[in-house]
Amino acid sequence: MRRALAAGALVLTLLLAGCGGDDPDVSRRAARALNDQIDLVEFAIAAHDYGAARQGLTQVRTSAERFADRESISGDRLPLILQAVDDLEAALREAEASA
């Protein structure tokens, strides 16, 4: 189960990678802010604090939507980020149920 959680966090991180260039899918500012939030989620997962991890994912979702509203995340990338958050939330629910 921890592998699934780590993989989910990694997917989110990879979706934020590749910023830069003339017209990035994710601005550097948005990528930095969201990566910091994902780091906190990963720390919470490592500590088996799944409630804090869920709160962190809620913050990631809210921040991603706000950055998209400001056009700091492209309309193509936002659904991928939100799907990765959904997938990680599902893995968290499974981890909690098996704990």
Domains and CATH numbers, the chain: 2-98 (1.20.1440)
Contact 87, 11 (CB under 8 A): yes
In this predicted structure, the answer to whether residue 8 has a pLDDT above a threshold of 90 is no
Q: pTM, whole model, 2 decimals?
A: 0.85
In this predicted structure, the answer to whether residue 9 has a pLDDT above a threshold of 70 is yes
pLDDT tens per residue, range 35-88: 999 989 989 988 989 999 999 999 999 999 999 999 999 999 999 999 999 988
In this predicted structure, the answer to whether residue 20 has a pLDDT above a threshold of 60 is no
Nearest to 8 by CA among 94, 92, 73: 92
The Cα–Cα gap between 94 and 74 comes to: 31
pLDDT of residue 18: 57
